[in-house]
Amino acid sequence: METLKLRKICIDTYRENVAYLHRDCPVYRSEGFQALSKIKIHKAGNGTPVIAVLNVVNDEALLARDELGLSEQAFAQLNLSPGTAVRVEHARPPASLKAVHRKIAGERLGLDEYRGITRDIRGNRYSKIEIAAFLVSCSESGMERDEVLYLARAMVETGKHLDWSEPLVVDKHCIGGIPGNRTSMLIVPIIAAHGMLIPKTSSRAITSPAGTADTMAVLAHVELSPDHLHKIVRRERACLAWGGKSQLAPVDDILISVERPLSLDSPGQMVASILSKKVAAGATHLLLDIPVGPTAKVRSRAAALRLRKLFEYTGDHMGLQLEVIITDGRQPIGRGIGPVLEARDVMQVLNNQPDAPADLREKALQLAGRILEFDPDVRGGQGYVIARDILDSGRALAKMEAIIKAQGKNPETAVPGRLQQPVLAGATGTITGIDNMQMAHIARLAGAPMDPGAGVDLHLKLGEQVEQGEPLYIIHAEFAADFRFANEAAAAASGYRIEAAGPTGEQG
């Protein structure tokens, strides 16, 4: 067998290993490889192999006939110098793929099978289409609740596990879907001011106009090394950081990289994803927020209850103390949608400003109250009052300022996007509907979260009266093209429903 010279191809194939061979490469011809087939690459002689999907190159400027190219991630995994002699051969499908085929056939899988699947995914032995096949086979009613537990456990096992050496490590999580819902940035300082440990890491926005990490980044650095983070948490009892660089349940990140473009969002995957991350992060107690509403992720109370049971069952068997709270998800929370506008709302609440959005404050207090009751010394029903006292007294603000300082204050002063356009009510009446998805869509088109100042600032919420021609919300953007897209989308559908005193509803 001939060897090939290793070459790095500076293409980011995003969590999929891709190998490049020239079509006239002697190895390609004699081995009978095919494009998209999987090959195994290892150092001539020995070495741990890397598995990659094959792309065929027809240009010697890109790749010589005696070279093997690897995309950035695959090159990093193989960890050899350019020019090293490597051998390639056909890769057998990963052993656990047989279990995926059984799952496709409708069978129920056991813990060891989920372990095999997560190990192979962790080892980059699955191609994107194999991951897609696994995810679809587990979607919707495809997973028994024991299987959700097995998958969650297996995902925890395939990564690092933090141990805070404390009996009470709390976390909170919202399943998402509600724009402006930045309660974590209020809850974390309240809980930490009470003295409980709450090392909160969050994601950046995937399909939404802002994740907690994006909004927190307006105020402070959020990309911190694990060591640095650990020190901050020890000192401040809390952090508000980006969780992306951790090695906690790394299989979850790989699965999400395929779920996202597929828009898959099955209950089983969601529960396994959330709980595996929390357990790996060392949480002992978790409060889960499930917003329900006609344009939320969960549309009915019945569906929310089913999801709650699944969270409870899985959490209990993973040794996590879990409380689920079903909240009002009929409209966005607060006024701002987009990092800068949301950070403004949060700081208004922390500063006890009279014009601070009341719904954001109220929801944060409700959730914080429930978390405080995880503390054995807090009497049942007293959590809310304690939370309110911490907020009203300014202790929450002081804690937030300490966290910002510890993580490193963002030196730039953030301002809402300079391009501004009000969207006006088309009729006079009562606001009876605000579409979460449409508001998120408009804010994203305006540039959020990439441009932190972009987004939507709501002037009116459900139940309020409006006169025709009065502004419903203001669109903010930084760039003209984004601004135009967002305005066009708002003109097509404002996202608001206005009902006149009479019986007819009208799209505002």
Please identify every residue annotated as catalytic: 265
Q: Is 95 in the site for its own copies (CB under 8 A)?
A: no
Site string for its own copies, 476-495 (x = CB under 8 A): ---x-xx-------------
* Cβ 64 to its own copies shortest distance, Å: 13
C-beta of 258 vs 286, nearer to its own copies: 258
Q: Is 430 in the site for its own copies (CB under 8 A)?
A: no
For residue 179, is the peptide bond before it cis, meaning its omega torsion is within 30 degrees of 0? no
Rounded Cα distance between 124 and 118, Å, is: 10
* Cβ 105 to its own copies shortest distance, Å: 5
Contact in structure between 12 and 32 (CB atoms under 8 Å): no
Residue the block writes with tokens 């006939």: 65
Q: Is 3 in the site for its own copies (CB under 8 A)?
A: no
Residue the block writes with tokens 């094959």: 54
* Cβ 482 to its own copies shortest distance, Å: 8
Contact in structure between 336 and 180 (CB atoms under 8 Å): yes
C-beta of 136 vs 305, nearer to its own copies: 136
Q: Are strands 285-292 and 321-328 parallel, antiparallel or unpaired?
A: parallel
Query: Which amino acid, residue 409?
Result: K
- Residue 329 phi/psi, 5-degree rounding, is -115, 30
Name the segment binding its own copies (CB under 8 A); options: 12-20, 292-300, 330-338, 431-439.
12-20
Site for its own copies in 131-150 (CB under 8 A): 131-133, 135-137, 139-141
Name the segment binding its own copies (CB under 8 A); options: 104-112, 115-123, 338-346, 381-389.
104-112
C-beta of 104 vs 305, nearer to its own copies: 104
Chosen residue from 5, 40, 66, 72 binding its own copies by CB under 8 A:
72
C-beta of 143 vs 197, nearer to its own copies: 143
Q: How far is CA 383 from CA 81, 289, 378, in A?
A: 58, 16, 7
Q: Is 450 in the site for its own copies (CB under 8 A)?
A: yes
Q: Is 168 in the site for its own copies (CB under 8 A)?
A: no
Rounded Cα distance between 462 and 440, Å, is: 17
Rounded Cα distance between 310 and 331, Å, is: 25
* Cβ 323 to its own copies shortest distance, Å: 29
* Cβ 142 to its own copies shortest distance, Å: 9
* Cβ 159 to its own copies shortest distance, Å: 22
C-beta of 59 vs 355, nearer to its own copies: 59
Residue the block writes with tokens 């879907």: 177
Chosen residue from 257, 352, 366, 410 binding its own copies by CB under 8 A:
257
Sign of the dihedral through C-alpha 72, 76, 82, 86: negative
Chosen residue from 11, 64, 111, 404 binding its own copies by CB under 8 A:
11
* Cβ 272 to its own copies shortest distance, Å: 17
Chosen residue from 106, 319, 376, 463 binding its own copies by CB under 8 A:
106
Rounded Cα distance between 500 and 466, Å, is: 10
Q: Are strands 85-90 and 38-43 parallel, antiparallel or unpaired?
A: antiparallel
366: buried, middle or exposed (CB in 10 Å: 19+, 13-18, 0-12)?
A: middle
Site string for its own copies, 18-47 (x = CB under 8 A): --x--x-----xx-x-xxxxx---------
* Cβ 117 to its own copies shortest distance, Å: 14
| Helix/strand/coil for 234 | helix
Rounded Cα distance between 326 and 82, Å, is: 54
Rounded Cα distance between 343 and 201, Å, is: 17
Chosen residue from 45, 46, 59, 502 binding its own copies by CB under 8 A:
59
326: buried, middle or exposed (CB in 10 Å: 19+, 13-18, 0-12)?
A: middle
C-beta of 132 vs 168, nearer to its own copies: 132
Q: Is 66 in the site for its own copies (CB under 8 A)?
A: no
* Cβ 99 to its own copies shortest distance, Å: 13
| Helix/strand/coil for 301 | helix
DSSP string, 76-100: HHHT--TT-EEEEEEPPPPTTHHHH
Q: In terms of Cα–Cα distance, which of 325, 257, 330, 318 is closest to 293?
A: 330
Sheet of 419-424: strand order equals: 336-337, 455-458, 471-477, 419-424
C-beta of 473 vs 483, nearer to its own copies: 483
Site for its own copies in 115-134 (CB under 8 A): 127-133
Q: Is 105 in the site for its own copies (CB under 8 A)?
A: yes
Rounded Cα distance between 124 and 13, Å, is: 13
Chosen residue from 62, 95, 415, 500 binding its own copies by CB under 8 A:
62
Footprint of its own copies (CB under 8 A): 1, 9-14, 20, 23, 29-30, 32, 34-38, 55-59, 62, 72, 93, 97, 101, 104-106, 127-133, 135-137, 139-141, 257-258, 261-264, 444, 447, 450, 479, 481-482
